[in-house]
A and B are shown apart, each in its own frame.
Chain A
Amino acid sequence: MSTGNAGQRELVFCHECENEFWKQEHGLECPSCHSDFTEVIEQTHDPRRPDTPTPGLFADHLRDHNPWAHAQDAPDPDEDDVRRFEYRSPNSRVHFSSTFISSSGNRSTQTTGFGAEPNPFNIIGQMLNHMARPQEYPSQQQRQYEGQGGPFGPNSFPGRTAAGQDSGRGHTQFYSSSGPGFMFTSTGGPGNMDREDGLPANDLHQMLDSLFPPSGPPNGGSAGGPGGIQALLSAMLNPANAQSGDAVYSNEAFDRVLSQLMEQHRSGNAPGPASEAAIAALPRRPVGPRELGEEGKAECSICMDSVTTGVEISVLPCSHWFHPDCVKAWLSEHDTCPVCRSGITPKEGDQNSVRDPSQQPLNDEDPARVARRQSGSRGNPFIVPESPSRERRQPGFRQHSSNALNTPPGGYPGSDSGGDQQGASSNGSGGSGSISGRMRNFFGGGSSSGESSRKRSSGSSS
């Protein structure tokens, strides 16, 4: 199974059914599902998902991954291909830098305006127009053209010696977008971006931290700064033009794309099917006066056909009844009553039997709980307590329960110990958990948010 013995024989992974097979025996078509969405597993590239991703693993991958490696290694990125721009306010409280990389051959797009193809100088110009006092703007503007080093390489911040009087790491905005033929990143924020090590964003882990800074101003002194920049960003990054084809230009648009993808796969939350044996064990009987009521007629609420005396019905433990075939079709996909959502499988005991009405159901979709769980938006369809980003972007939105908000970052099950300290000690560490947490919550490998919040609440009460 290991990729180590793939010297002679090539192992192929099927993305459809996650089957693995030998290329020499089956070619590139999956023998089990006949999909051709397959990939040869190489030692350097294994498409199989890690079985149990942990936050550490995820972060390590990110840290080791340098998306600009190619930009850096590119033989000769001539000057026009990498544009860098930096701005610092006179008192060093606001700092912006941006890098725009376009692949050669696409240079003509750089001259078009914001809209069709975003021109970074227009974007930054708009930012500065609002940010700096108008009369300061032209004199403070600097443009830097450099052809070497990645956007966050050692030469990323050519003007950084100009700053340094401000203390602390400040509150940093990071913004990045890319599309066919170009890549654009910008960082900015009040205070001094530079740290002791001098390379603030060299570490992607830290970049993630700054991507989702914790809510609230980092300190009283610079409280005015982030608000201003956020306002600028949100004004500039109007969701209507923040998406263009495959490229997104704002977190909001990214959220939308992400949740659209999630939407297409949403079923993770719903209870699984009831067992065939349990469905078959549902008591059946002819419909009687109790069901038909005073009017002497009733209908199966699934097919809406009326039932008359003598028609056979299946009765669920919650005493809701349906045509046997109708309810079987539903229960074989969801172990919930179509009307009240109480499952038929007992919580304890034989899962191939029907629970006694006195027994707790295994799946009980209590409407209140559903409502609580569903109170996320499509922009943030899962309530991920680890994510403070919503709070930051939309201070008016209090859609999470306060309980969920107060949970420490990194506190999901399976994370190593010390999540609390991590959250308390660093004002930036909340971010790294948020996006990986969301991914894990959705794509599996972790627990659902509901589970984790239960776990946490039981933990906090002890």
Chain B
Amino acid sequence: MGSSGGGKRIARELGECTNDPPEGIRVQLVDDADVYRWDITMDGPEQSPYAGGHFKLQLRLPTEYPFKPPTINFATKIYHPNVSNDDKGSMCLGMLRSDQWKPPNKIVAVLNMVRNILIEPNIDDAVETGVAEQYKNARDEFVKTAREWTAKYASGK
């Protein structure tokens, strides 16, 4: 099937994501000629400290997709145990790991997983262990900082 098949599948998935987007998620291509780079806007879930924020994410599909997993980066700074607090904002857990990825996984499932992680961080798979510790042991402080960051970095349009 090869890469042409991958491109066809990506186009199909893009169509699904734009026509019937998952809740709180908007999808568009960075460049219309390049189906491998997607711009995602994710609303902070109501039941999370990110509520009210609009988070920009970049989703990149490898040329080997669907045989290799997509990569997700938060372009908007976010205070979250599973998102690296650096200029990359990378998130790598669960099905996004190359050794857990399965071709039948769809991008929409990836996006939904990311949104669920915003609602409920995966503490055992944290990239920011300090934030994870705070989430676990001092939830109030975590929520406070996460809200502050949301207001500071993610409230703009």
Return chain B residues, CB-CB under 8 Å to A323. 1
Q: A239-B85, A325-B1, A339-B102 are in contact. Are A396 and B9 (CB under 8 A)?
A: no
Q: A239-B130, A267-B98 are in contact. Are A396 and B1 (CB under 8 A)?
A: no
Q: A252-B130, A326-B1, A338-B103 are in contact. Are A375 and B85 (CB under 8 A)?
A: no
Answer whether residue A79 sits at the interface, using C-beta atoms and an 8 A cutoff.
no
**Distance, CA A88 to CA B124, complexed state (A):** 38
Answer whether residue B99 sits at the interface, using C-beta atoms and an 8 A cutoff.
yes
**Distance, CA A394 to CA B103, complexed state (A):** 36
Answer whether residue B156 sits at the interface, using C-beta atoms and an 8 A cutoff.
no
Answer whether residue B136 sits at the interface, using C-beta atoms and an 8 A cutoff.
yes
What's the count of A-B pairs with C-beta under 8 Å?
A: 92
Are A302's CB and B66's CB within 8 A? yes
- A287 CB to closest chain B CB (Å) equals 16
Are A379's CB and B127's CB within 8 A? yes
Are A270's CB and B98's CB within 8 A? yes
Are B104's CB and A301's CB within 8 A? yes
- A105 CB to closest chain B CB (Å) equals 30
Return chain A residues, CB-CB under 8 Å to B93. 378
Return chain A residues, CB-CB under 8 Å to B1. 302-303, 323, 325-326, 329
Answer whether residue A333 sits at the interface, using C-beta atoms and an 8 A cutoff.
yes
Are B130's CB and A238's CB within 8 A? yes
Are A266's CB and B5's CB within 8 A? no
Return chain A residues, CB-CB under 8 Å to B157. none
Are B124's CB and A399's CB within 8 A? yes
Answer whether residue A341 sits at the interface, using C-beta atoms and an 8 A cutoff.
yes
With both beta carbons as reference points, the residue of chain A lying nearest to B104 in the complex is identified as A301
Q: B102 is contacted by which of A238, A341, A376 (Cβ under 8 Å)?
A: A341
Are A378's CB and B126's CB within 8 A? yes
B122-137 to A contact mask, C-beta < 8 Å, 1/0: 0111111110110011
A297-323 to B contact mask, C-beta < 8 Å, 1/0: 000011111000000000000000001
The B-contacting residues of A in range 322-358, CB under 8 angstroms, are: 323, 325-326, 329-330, 333, 338-339, 341
Tally chain A residues at the interface, Cβ within 8 Å: 37
- B18 CB to closest chain A CB (Å) equals 16
- A262 CB to closest chain B CB (Å) equals 11
Q: B126 is contacted by which of A263, A267, A325, A377 (Cβ under 8 Å)?
A: A377
Return chain A residues, CB-CB under 8 Å to B128. 239
Are A252's CB and B99's CB within 8 A? no
Are B12's CB and A304's CB within 8 A? yes
The B-contacting residues of A in range 258-284, CB under 8 angstroms, are: 263, 266-267, 269-270
**Distance, CA A379 to CA B93, complexed state (A):** 12
**Distance, CA A330 to CA B103, complexed state (A):** 8
- A303 CB to closest chain B CB (Å) equals 5
Answer whether residue A106 sits at the interface, using C-beta atoms and an 8 A cutoff.
no
The A-contacting residues of B in range 82-141, CB under 8 angstroms, are: 84-85, 92-93, 97-100, 102-104, 106, 123-130, 132-133, 136-137
Return chain B residues, CB-CB under 8 Å to A397. 123, 129, 132-133, 136
Are B104's CB and A266's CB within 8 A? no
- A246 CB to closest chain B CB (Å) equals 14
Are B100's CB and A394's CB within 8 A? no
Answer whether residue B8 sits at the interface, using C-beta atoms and an 8 A cutoff.
yes
The A-contacting residues of B in range 26-71, CB under 8 angstroms, are: 66-67
Return chain A residues, CB-CB under 8 Å to B132. 377, 397
Return chain A residues, CB-CB under 8 Å to B6. 303
Q: A252-B130, A329-B2, A397-B133 are in contact. Are A303 and B99 (CB under 8 A)?
A: no
With both beta carbons as reference points, the residue of chain B lying nearest to A301 in the complex is identified as B104
**Distance, CA A301 to CA B12, complexed state (A):** 13
**Distance, CA A325 to CA B100, complexed state (A):** 22
Are A377's CB and B125's CB within 8 A? yes
Interface centre among B12, B92, B103, B136 (most CB of A within 10 A): B103
Answer whether residue B23 sits at the interface, using C-beta atoms and an 8 A cutoff.
no
Return chain B residues, CB-CB under 8 Å to A377. 124-127, 129, 132
A residues within 8 Å of B by Cβ? 234, 238-240, 252, 255-256, 263, 266-267, 269-270, 301-305, 323, 325-326, 329-330, 333, 338-339, 341, 370, 374-379, 394, 396-397, 399
Q: Which 10 A-B residue pairings sit nearest by Cβ, starting from the closest? A: A301-B104, A270-B99, A379-B129, A378-B127, A302-B103, A338-B103, A303-B5, A326-B1, A325-B1, A399-B124
Given contacts A303-B9, A326-B103, A338-B103, 17 further A-B contacts (CB under 8 A): A266-B98, A301-B104, A303-B1, A303-B6, A303-B8, A303-B66, A304-B12, A304-B13, A305-B8, A325-B5, A333-B67, A338-B102, A341-B102, A375-B125, A377-B127, A379-B127, A399-B124
